[in-house]
Every structure is written in structure tokens, then in C-alpha cells.
Chain A
Amino acid sequence: GAVVSQHPSWVICKSGTSVKIECRSLDFQATTMFWYRQFPKQSLMLMATSNEGSKATYEQGVEKDKFLINHASLTLSTLTVTSAHPEDSSFYICSASSNFNTEAFFGQGTRLTVV
């Protein structure tokens, strides 16, 4: 149980285009999802917290107009990187939790490369 799936696992896009990353909870209802970013050889940094049906809460320094987060259902949250630039190249990982879990479960991550 408690499986979180991210799609795609990796993506390459051209500079200036937008990329959407999906995070799905497969066997539970995720009332809260978190998006993290990990640069090479660095730790994970929380980008934003999303609760189903409401606007995401972004961490300081994260541009909400660049990283659009939608959590329209209890099983799906999406992160859209708009007008991507090479500096947005990173590993993006989501986690999800329900009201009944005391922890969050992580997806396998998405490697984004912007060329």
C-alpha cells in the first residue's frame, strides 16, 4: 500500500517550453502533496505544499508563476515548469499523505533536463 507514482521519470525539453510533471497516489487519497527539488549532489529542498482543492503554498524563494501546482483531485497533483530554462534542470520529487497517515510517501522522481 501507499504507492506514489510520478510521470514522466525523465524529460528533456527545449528552453522556453513548459513541462508538466504528474504525481499520483495509487492506493490512497492524498489530501496533501509536497513538491521537492534536488540539484545534482545536493539535498532535497521543499518547493511547495498543495492541499486538494486549494491553492498551493510556496516556500520562500520559489516563483509561483514559474512553478504552477495544481491539486485538483485526491489522487493527482501536477507541477508545471513554465518557460523552462537550463537552470531549471533538476530532479523533482513529490510526496503525498492522507489524513490517516502520519508520514508522506515519495514518488520515484522526475529528472528534468532543459536544453
Chain B
Amino acid sequence: AQSVTQPDIHITVSEGASLELRCNYSYGATPYLFWYVQSPGQGLQLLLKYFSGDTLVQGIKGFEAEFKRSQSSFNLRKPSVHWSDAAEYFCAVATSAAGNKLTFGGGTRVLVKP
């Protein structure tokens, strides 16, 4: 069965520092991978997605992610964090060919220190 693991429950980072959120997946077929951000009490905002092609994916808000098939990973990065990046981040893998049915990781809460 498919699964997504986000090993870090909480990450605290200083404003201006770099950020990397880890995501490992388990899925038998070629995965469709997503990163979402959720602010408290809000819905999900798509940061970026990987379906095929270039394994380094650029997203919104200065985020990028790299798909590494050999490591079954899809880690999210941002070179310089802003206070507004404090939120919950979810990695997800699509478990349907259409790419629309998602299995989510447990999430990583990011706290940004001034």
C-alpha cells in the first residue's frame, strides 16, 4: 500500500535561514507528488507538484523540491525563510492514475524565529 512519511514533526528555523522538509514515499508505480501548505484553520495551498520530467521542480513562494527516485524522496527546500512561511506543510502522493486521489504524510509544522 502507498504511504508518505514526513520524518520531522516540527522544525524551527530562523528567519532568513534555509529550510528543508523531508518526504519519503512508498508507491509501486511512478508517483505523482505534491507539496501543500496549510495555515492555521485554513485549507490547502498547492506549493508545487511533480508528475514527470525535470526532477527539480520550482513552486510558488520561492519553494522548490527535488524528486529522487533512488531514495524515494521528494524533499522541499527554500533558500531563505520568511516569517510568513510559518505553517504546516504536507507532502502527498497521488494514488490514482489521474493524479487526483491523494495520500498525505503526517505533516511538518514549521516555526520561524525572528
Contacts and interface: CB of A to CB of B under 8 A. Distances in A.
Contact of B104 (A44, A91, A101, A111): A44
Interface of A: 6, 32, 34, 42-46, 49, 91, 93, 95, 97, 101-104, 106-109, 111
Contact of B43 (A32, A93, A97, A102): A93
Interface string B35-48: 01000011110100
B74 interface: no
Pick from A44, A46, A102 the residue with the most CB of B within 10 Å. A44
B43 A46 contact: no
Given A95-B100, A104-B101, 16 more contacts: A6-B43, A32-B98, A43-B90, A43-B104, A43-B107, A91-B41, A95-B102, A101-B100, A102-B51, A102-B100, A103-B100, A104-B102, A106-B36, A108-B42, A109-B43, A109-B44
10 contacts: A42-B106, A43-B106, A43-B107, A44-B44, A45-B104, A97-B98, A102-B98, A109-B42, A109-B43, A109-B44
Interface of B: 32, 34, 36, 41-44, 46, 49, 51, 90, 94, 98-107
A32 B100 contact: yes
Given A43-B90, A93-B43, A106-B44, A49 B99 contact: no
Nearest to B43: A108
B106 A103 contact: no
Contacts of A107: 43
A78 B28 CA distance: 32
Contact of B101 (A46, A101, A108): A46
A44 B104 CA distance: 6
Nearest to A6: B43
Pick from B34, B94, B101, B105 the residue with the most CB of A within 10 Å. B101
B81 to A, nearest CB: 22
B41 A102 contact: no
B46 to A, nearest CB: 8
